[in-house]
Amino acid sequence: MSPACGMVTDGGFSIIEINPMEGRMRYLVVVSVFFFMLVMGVFATAQADGRGVYVKCIGCHGVDGSKHALNVSPPIKGQSAGELERKLFGYLDGSFGGDKKIVMTNVLKKLSEEDIREVSKYVSEF
């Protein structure tokens, strides 16, 4: 009986004793969680970029890049990041493309160079 009472009392005391600390602890926790989320957010953005950009391509190329876009494009699945980048930048500078290249040029004009590199990397992993 008494050890139990002792524990309750100890518990009560320690809670009261920790209380003044808790404010600072909570502050530290909140600050560390904030920084953790900030860092994770930066990572998530960097990693999700390619995927985020690819959302714009799914309609024509399919979720996994295996569709023949508008019945003309070869599947983009299975191509290396280097190959994809060369073709995509080629659409923009006119050094690559078939009869329907205008379709791709219009899509790519709205993307940054960084987007194109990220999406090439993402597609090469299909």
Query: For binding to ligand HEC (CB under 6 A), which residues are involved?
Result: 53, 56-57, 59-61, 69-70, 72-74, 76, 84, 87-88, 97-101, 103-104, 107, 119, 123
Choice between 49 and 76, CB closer to ligand HEC: 76
> CB of residue 110 vs ligand HEC: minimum separation in angstroms?
9
Residue 112 is classified by DSSP as -
Smallest distance from the beta carbon of 17 to ligand HEC, in angstroms?
60
Least Å distance, CB 78 to ligand HEC, is 10
**89 membership: H or E segment, kind and range:** helix 81-93
Place of tokens 């190329």: 61
Q: How many Å apart are CA 57 and CA 118, to the nearest integer? A: 13
Nearer to ligand HEC, 41 or 98 (CB): 98
Nearer to ligand HEC (CB atom), residue 23 or residue 59: 59
List C-alpha distances in Å: 18 to 13, 23, 28, 120: 8, 9, 15, 54
In angstroms, the CA 52 to CA 20 distance is 46
Closer to ligand HEC at the Cβ: 47 or 106? 106
List the end-to-end C-alpha distance of the chain, in Å, as a whole number: 66
Minimum CB–partner distance for residue 93 and ligand HEC (Å): 14
